[in-house]
Structure 1
Amino acid sequence: MPRPRCPRCQRPLKQCLCALIPSLVSETEVLILQHPSETGHALNTARLAALGLTSAELRVGERFDDLPVSDSRESYLLFPGDDAVSLAQLAAEDLPLRLVVPDGTWRKARKLLHLNPALARLPRVALPEGLTSRYRLRKAPMPGALSTLEAIVVALNALEGAGRFDALLRPFEALIETQIDAMGAEVFQRNHGCHR
């Protein structure tokens, strides 16, 4: 019999994160496009971001035909690319912004861009180099790779003020600690080769 889950955060009731999820207001809208393969993942950081930001929306799918890209906000795809602008450059422009954030593995995120030409045509903004993920349960596929939630926090802090969105990381840290506790320190050490 499946364990009862919180209808909001989707965690097992005994591990509900809702008390740790903030309600933060940002000037920047955040549109998260989640690949369907991520919805059932135990560490669904996109859901945490959408729950913790009043100006965030989470959409699940592979094709997105109704992207809000032609209104009064400038939409930028938070994804690396040769022509990507820096967050500092974007912050200096002081425009009403929308960050469009693909959520999934790198392969799945690229697939979302391939299946949605309007998404692929958006101007891109990139995270600064040299960042380190707090996501101790997954091996980063490349240096500087962050979870979706971490990427959103870095971007919003750069655009709207350092530290303003760090509270979004509280449920993320609790989620990681819960998973490590469940697997046990020895298994965690053996599989991930690092200390808490």
Structure 2
Amino acid sequence: MGSRYCIQCQKAHKACLCSTIVPLSSAIELIILQHPTEVRKPTGTASILTLSLDRALCLVGENFTQDETLNALLNDADVTHFVLFPGGGSTCVNEIQPPSPPQRYRVILLDGTWKKAYKMWQLSTNLHNLPRLHLPESLQSRYRIRKAPRDNCLSTVEAGYHLLSNWQPHQDFSPLLQSFEQMIQFQLAQMPPDVRGRY
């Protein structure tokens, strides 16, 4: 008997996202550090990035200090690394000049609830010396089916979209948000009408 989960997007077959995915190229590389509880979550969005983008990698765990794959990437001296994690000492992406060849940027995103992402950040000491980024506070999330502490708390796919669009304005990354919207519509369709009307 086969798995009830799609091997590509990790979602249940009835919620599979793969048909919505559009292949996209990007000069900016993304590394998504995903909390284990997010892997098969129906409302998770990291898989949209990893399936769509030619330069996106997802690593699963909570403490990445000794993660060999991540540390090998961080040791790549030819790449400038950032971590998208707001707070004191972080710089808005608008203030960072886009890379110009042969310069390369690699950005780490933490995928989890805010509480879990903060725990991942605390435990993963190999991230602490990287330049930290935040997105403009004016951005509003379209992630209406999942609770967030503030309206400008973006999903992982929204964060990736805005980051890539900011540094590569001549490329169209809107298919990421279109896939995201289709995921939301599917999840809304599964809800009873009285619940659905709240979103």
Q: Which amino acid aligns with 1:50?
A: T
Partner secondary structure for residue 157 of structure 2: helix
Match of 2:97 in 1: 91
- By how many angstroms is 1:181 displaced? 0.8
Q: Which amino acid aligns with 2:85?
A: F
Q: Which amino acid aligns with 2:89?
A: D
Partner secondary structure for residue 117 of structure 2: helix
Match of 1:134 in 2: 142
Deviations 1:84-120 (A, max 9, x none): 1221222346441001001101111111111111112
* Alpha carbons 1:28, 1:55 under 8 Å: kept: yes
* Alpha carbons 2:35, 2:116 under 8 Å: kept: yes
- By how many angstroms is 1:131 displaced? 1.1
Q: Does 1:111 align with 2:119?
A: yes
Q: Does 1:74 align with 2:80?
A: yes
- By how many angstroms is 1:175 displaced? 1.0
Indicate how the Cα distance of structure 1 residues 51 and 144 shifts in structure 2: closer, same or farther if over 3 A, else same.
same
Indicate how the Cα distance of structure 1 residues 36 and 15 shifts in structure 2: closer, same or farther if over 3 A, else same.
closer
Percent identity over paired residues: 38
Partners in 2 of 1:37 and 1:15 — Cα distance?
17
Taking structure 1 as the reference length, the TM-score comes to 0.89
What are the residue-to-residue correspondences of 1:18-29 with 2, within 5 Å? 18-29=18-29
Partners in 2 of 1:52 and 1:152 — Cα distance?
11
* Alpha carbons 2:99, 2:167 under 8 Å: kept: no
Taking structure 2 as the reference length, the TM-score comes to 0.88
Match of 1:42 in 2: 42
Q: Does 1:156 align with 2:164?
A: yes
Match of 2:58 in 1: 58
- By how many angstroms is 1:2 displaced? 9.2
Indicate how the Cα distance of structure 1 residues 104 and 162 shifts in structure 2: closer, same or farther if over 3 A, else same.
farther
Partner secondary structure for residue 62 of structure 1: coil
* Alpha carbons 1:28, 1:97 under 8 Å: kept: yes
Match of 1:172 in 2: 180
* Alpha carbons 1:133, 1:150 under 8 Å: kept: yes
Number of matched pairs = 191
- By how many angstroms is 1:63 displaced? 2.1
Q: Which amino acid aligns with 1:142?
A: R
2:131 alignment partner, one of 123, 147, 165: 123
- What are the ranges of 5 or more consecutive residues in structure 2 without an aligned counterpart? none
